[in-house]
Amino acid sequence: MKTMTMMTKTMITITLLQQDIVWGNPAANQVAVERQLAAAPKSDLYLLPEMWSTGFVTQPEGIAERDGASLRWMQRMAQQLDAAIAGSIATEEEGRYYNRFYFVKPTGEVAHYDKHHLFTYGGEQLHYTAGQERVIVAWRGVRFLLQVCYDLRFPIFARNAAEGPESYDVALYVASWPTSRREPWDLLLRARAIENQAYVCGVNRIGQDPACEYNGGTCCIDAYGHTLQTCPDGKESLITCTLDLEKLNAFRQKFPVLSDRD
């Protein structure tokens, strides 16, 4: 378990970018995301989809990034925007491949989570190494749980706690979740928010890759399971939500579900 120090803050603004991804072309995808960022409201955090720089590659040889170019781009953007940028990248390190969710701060500091539940139905486990640690990152007083796509189907791994190093305020899910399984995406995001008394932000891509079609479903959900905002289906777009931590903590105190967890 990794965690980082928390400071006091009651409101945080997050922008979720629902993008079409150019297959295997990090440079083109960086340009496309920069265009979206230029149109986005000022935020504390900008969230990108799973494997935003290449598309969801299950055979990463020759496509996964080993030079860190997209990570350096994230660091530059974070510094320019004075905000954190987060999203996953197909990464090669010392001969191993990881679906690595980077959380990059404007200081250049980088935290990362390696996807734990590899998508066996699509053969992801044949090439990638699974991460073994759940990761929570603190940023501007808010604790973020980092999760990637298929992790959404495993509620025990995302289980929140009332307090301590296992507790968090916002769960971030970055995904390449196909249109054919869209209904579970919508339902499970709400379930994770309700059962963990946390905000949930889920960002999914649109468009097509060699295997699947994607129609989005990017949204922000509160701890009651209410959808605060959502992107239109099938359209490259963004949403910006301001999350109220004081309201979240008041709800947890009034209805202390997490204190009764197994």
Structure tokens at 197: 């008394």
Q: What does the buried/exposed string (b/e) look like for 111-124 if buried means 16 or more CB atoms within 10 Å of the residue's CB?
A: bbbbbbbbbeeeeb
Q: How confident is the model at residue 6 (pLDDT cuts 50, 70, 90)?
A: very low
Read off the amino acid at residue 167: S
- Alpha helices (H) along 113-255: 182-196, 245-254
Residues 146, 135 contacting (CB under 8 angstroms) = yes
Q: What is the pLDDT of residue 9?
A: 60
* Whether the predicted pLDDT of 7 surpasses 90: no
Between CA 104 and CA 72 the distance in angstroms is 10
Between CA 124 and CA 118 the distance in angstroms is 6
* Whether the predicted pLDDT of 170 surpasses 70: yes
Q: What is the pLDDT of residue 5?
A: 38
Contact residues for 224 (Cβ-Cβ < 8 A; gap 6+): 193, 194, 251
φ, ψ dihedrals at 17, nearest 5°: -105, 115
Structure tokens at 24: 């295997």
Residues in a beta bridge with 243: 12
> How many of the other CB atoms lie within 10 Å of CB of 89?
25
What are the pLDDT digits (tens) for 37-76?
A: 999 999 999 999 999 999 999 999 999 999 999 999 999 9
Residues 14, 201 contacting (CB under 8 angstroms) = yes
Which residues are the active-site residues?
50, 115, 149
Q: How confident is the model at residue 10 (pLDDT cuts 50, 70, 90)?
A: confident
Give mean pLDDT, residues 165-185.
98
What are the pLDDT digits (tens) for 189-240?
A: 999 999 999 999 999 999 999 999 999 999 999 999 999 999 999 999 999 9
pTM of the model: 0.95
* Whether the predicted pLDDT of 1 surpasses 60: no
Q: Domains of the chain (ranges plus CATH)?
A: 11-260 (3.60.110.10)
Query: Coil, strand, or helix at residue 40?
Result: coil
